Amino acid sequence: MSVEAITIIMVLITFGLYTGIGWWSRVKDTSSFYVAGQNVPTVANGAAIAADWMSAASFISMAGLVAFLGYDGTIYLMGWTGGYVLLALLLAPYLRKFGKFTVPDFIGDRFYSNSARTVAAIATIFISLTYISGQMRGVGIVFSRYLQVDIIIGVLIGMAIVGFFALLGGMKGITWTQATQYFVIIIAFLIPAIAISLQLTGNPVPQLALTGSDIVDRLTSIQVDLGMTEYMAPFTDLSMLNVFMITLALMAGTAGLPHVIVRFYTVKNVRAARWSAVWAIIFIALLYLTAPAVGAFAKYNLINTIADQPLEEVQNIEWVKKWETTGLLQFNDLNGDGIVNFSEGEAGNEVVIDGDIIVLSTPEVANLAPFIIALVATGGLAAALSTASGLLITMSSAVSHDIYYRIFNKEASERQRLRVGRITLLVALFIAAYVGINPPGFAGEVVALAFGLGAASLFPVILLGIFDKRMNKEGAIAGILTGLIFTLLMIGLILSESIFGTDGAILNSFFGINAQGVGVIGMALNFIVSFVVSRNTPEPPVEIQQLIENVRAPEIDSELEAAATTEDK
């Protein structure tokens, strides 16, 4: 049986499982649609957080970025994992204790302003749309390769499937589906990693194989022989400034991601939110500690297979032929010698390979069993679908709950709110599909832009909203708008060629900082503007300041606090 046939069978089986879970947990009320009824067990919620977190960027793109960037690619490992710890320890318990449905809900009530709620909802939509475009591209790549169709068709197929799951089950269905998808994702990532580790080093533990064998030295030797830089040489693709700025943007952006924060509202209380965070860190670590090894193994196998080989022979390799069909792998015999020249940079490099196919193609390059190749494809789909579904619900709730219900129609029925939410979800899905077809970079790079927007817009206001009683609505609104507008403008100018089709970039960088790192400047401006404006405008009402005192109090959970308050009255 062919790899494609096995893949289709495995995808159908897993999708059948996801559909069954979605149907079992389908929703009819807004609480279940937005926050899964707030009764998800901690271990299941931890797995769902991990699946939501380990998107196509983590499963498909991150190891590819590490493979191509080497040392510099570790910014994604450091930024994303460090940011999750920051979110779990510093923000999540307090936000859960506040007890709202969404991030705009928190900001609207904390800053006693529907204007603040609106700008937070707008920021949520921009962040989520940017993030989901990377997921749609990941889904499109998988379908493109294993259905042997153009990537545009692959994205459209993925769009239909993501929309089906999100519309059916809301947050309740998505949570239980994601908890299941996590185990598909981690098994699909670890099994090929272990197999390739054994194949290349004789050590079944990828992490130990990477640090305890000579695989990195062998990879470095091959790259140097081909005229490339050493694999672990620092600051070859990114300057030291950009390494620092992107890492910080990813960390702060993580703590401002609405679709991750809302996960802590799906459990019963603050204690459960903390334990969900602990379980999620454990689950996430399994993949993130393995990704650097997968990146190194993939790069070594790829170069060993095609570099300095006759072009005709390379193009007759089965996996090469199939990936060439997708348009994501191309060969250009620039010097006409019939030999594949694999090097860095466009000049002289005869291999054009999309970094997003590295993980998906690695089992094929390593000649692993068809079952393992199919398993990786199934895991990639699970990773992309899990995050895309969560992002769609986040955008849907921002419009239907935070804008439509809380501002324009407070008398709206459950049915009306669900209808608006589902219409919003469909509109967002079409926009995400378009950007997924015309991305400004690898899935991981596109997702990094979303983190920059989160760092620049929501993170400062959430942090100050919890820990600064003097922070008021004027400061919050001014801060969010300043950070969001500045960062969107800079990203648009720096990536104008790929986003708007201009003849070259309008702006090469912002004083040496690239598009993925410029969110840190937006974040700094947000903090400064928020602080200055709040100190020169009226302080928040006394009841708001008391509310923040109560949220920061060390009670076990908000339910106990609510019971004590009722008893006092």
Which amino acid, residue 123?
A
Phi–psi pair at 409, nearest 5 degrees: -145, 80
Question: Which among 26, 56, 71 is positioned nearest to 170, based on CA atoms?
Answer: 26
Q: Are 138 and 355 a contacting pair, CB within 8 Å?
A: no
pLDDT of residue 460: 96
Mean pLDDT of all residues in the chain? 84
Tokens of 523: 């974040």
Does 304 score more than 50 pLDDT?
Answer: yes
Q: Where are the beta strands (DSSP E) in 115-214?
A: none
pTM of the predicted protein model: 0.84
pLDDT of residue 300: 93
Which comes out higher in pLDDT, residue 74 or 176? 74
Q: List Cα–Cα distances, 254 to 83, 88, 199, 224, in angstroms.
A: 5, 10, 36, 36
Mean pLDDT within 311-323: 91
Which CATH code fits 3-292+377-440? Answer: 1.20.1740
SS (H, E, C) 467-504: HCCCCCHHHHHHHHHHHHHHHHHHHHHHCHHHHHCCCC
Percent of the chain's residues with pLDDT above 70? 91
Distance (Å, whole) CA 511 – CA 497: 19
Does 560 score more than 50 pLDDT?
Answer: no
Distance (Å, whole) CA 72 – CA 60: 18
Helices (H), 495-518: 496-500
Distance (Å, whole) CA 189 – CA 362: 11
Which comes out higher in pLDDT, residue 58 or 462? 462
Which amino acid, residue 297?
F
CATH 1.20.1740 domain span(s) along the chain = 3-292+377-440
Question: Which among 558, 465, 536, 501 is positioned nearest to 256, based on CA atoms?
Answer: 465
Place of tokens 């219409």: 423
SS (H, E, C) 541-567: CHHHHHHHHHHHCCCCCHHHHHHHHHH
Tokens of 171: 């947050």
Place of tokens 């995400």: 432
Distance (Å, whole) CA 7 – CA 147: 9
pLDDT per position as a tens digit, 195-217: 999 999 999 999 999 998 999 99
pLDDT per position as a tens digit, 445-504: 778 888 999 999 999 999 999 999 999 999 999 999 999 999 999 999 998 887 777 777
Helices (H), 255-326: 258-261, 270-288, 291-306, 311-314, 318-326
Q: Are 52 and 260 a contacting pair, CB within 8 Å?
A: yes
Q: List Cα–Cα distances, 314 to 320, 329, 331, in angstroms.
A: 7, 12, 10
CA 523 remoteness from chain centre: 19
Q: Are 98 and 260 a contacting pair, CB within 8 Å?
A: no
Which amino acid, residue 439?
P
CA-based R_g, the chain, Å: 24
- The dihedral sign for the CA sequence 221, 226, 230, 231: negative
pLDDT of residue 566: 40
- pLDDT-derived band at 240 (thresholds 50, 70, 90) equals very high
pLDDT per position as a tens digit, 92-140: 888 888 877 678 888 999 999 999 999 999 999 989 888 888 778 877 8
Tokens of 385: 């679908």
Dihedral of the CA atoms 547, 553, 558, 564 (nearest 10)?
A: -90
pLDDT of residue 365: 92
pLDDT of residue 435: 78
- Identify the bridge partners of residue 329 per DSSP, sorted by sequence position: 353
Three-state SS at 217? helix
Number of C-beta neighbours around residue 121 at 10 A: 26
Tokens of 73: 């690619």
Distance (Å, whole) CA 205 – CA 351: 31
Does 84 score more than 70 pLDDT?
Answer: yes
> What's the maximum distance between 2 C-alpha atoms anywhere in the chain?
87
Question: Which among 155, 137, 444, 436 is positioned nearest to 295, based on CA atoms?
Answer: 444
pLDDT of residue 193: 95
Q: List Cα–Cα distances, 323 to 56, 375, 437, 441, in angstroms.
A: 18, 17, 17, 19
Tokens of 485: 């507008």
Q: Which stretch of 83-87, 116-120, 282-286 has the lowest confidence by average pLDDT?
A: 83-87
pLDDT of residue 400: 85
Mean pLDDT within 500-516: 87
pLDDT per position as a tens digit, 516-559: 999 999 999 999 999 999 999 999 999 999 988 888 875 544 44
- Terminal alpha carbon distance of the chain: 71
CA 415 remoteness from chain centre: 31
- The dihedral sign for the CA sequence 433, 439, 441, 442: positive
DSSP element (H, E) containing 330: strand 329-331
Distance (Å, whole) CA 558 – CA 564: 10
Q: Are 59 and 359 a contacting pair, CB within 8 Å?
A: yes
Q: Are 172 and 32 a contacting pair, CB within 8 Å?
A: yes
Which comes out higher in pLDDT, residue 290 or 262? 290
pLDDT per position as a tens digit, 3-46: 888 988 998 898 888 777 767 766 555 555 555 556 778 888 88
Does 69 score more than 60 pLDDT?
Answer: yes
pLDDT of residue 440: 65
Q: Which stretch of 21-25, 69-73, 414-418 has the lowest confidence by average pLDDT?
A: 21-25
Residue 63 DSSP class: H
